[in-house]
């Protein structure tokens, strides 16, 4: 059985909820860029600039499962940030984005528009 109890100080800096899916924004950003490369390469520069404003505070005792860097933001909050950028600038990409990057498992947050 998988241990679903997060590390002692594993709280998201943005939403203050426990981080149960420890994938850092940097790793998710790389995946978003790969997705953009395949769906709309002309947006890569624009989205890189927009995502560069997403800051982290490094306050947790938890590491990314991919790159092992300390993280402080949950995948939900980062993907919500990307979702909001796309919603404002390129709503035609939302369905494709949510197919790959939906951390709104309850469908009560940013993905509720799509379901």
pLDDT value of residue 9: 65
State the DSSP string of 39-66.
H-GGGHHHHHHHHTT-------S-B-TT
How many other CB atoms are there within 10 angstroms of residue 57's CB atom? 9
Phi and psi dihedrals of 9, rounded to 5? -110, 30
**Three-state DSSP state, 33:** helix
Each residue of 36-67: pLDDT tens digit? Answer: 999 999 999 999 998 887 766 666 678 899 99
How many other CB atoms are there within 10 angstroms of residue 21's CB atom? 11
Each residue of 62-101: pLDDT tens digit? Answer: 889 999 988 889 999 999 999 999 998 899 999 999 888 8
Domain boundaries, the chain: 25-113
């Amino acid at each position: 059985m998988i241990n679903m109890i997060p590390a002692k100080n594993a709280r998201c800096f943005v939403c203050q909820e426990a981080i149960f899916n420890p994938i850092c924004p940097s790793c998710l950003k790389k995946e978003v860029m790969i997705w953009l490369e395949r769906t709309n390469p002309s947006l890569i520069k624009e989205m890189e600039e927009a995502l560069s404003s997403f800051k982290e505070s490094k306050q947790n005792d938890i590491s990314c499962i991919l790159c092992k860097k300390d993280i402080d933001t949950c995948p939900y909050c980062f993907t919500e940030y990307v979702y909001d950028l796309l919603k404002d600038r390129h709503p035609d990409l939302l369905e494709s984005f949510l197919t790959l990057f939906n951390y709104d498992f309850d469908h009560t947050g940013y993905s509720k528009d799509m379901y």
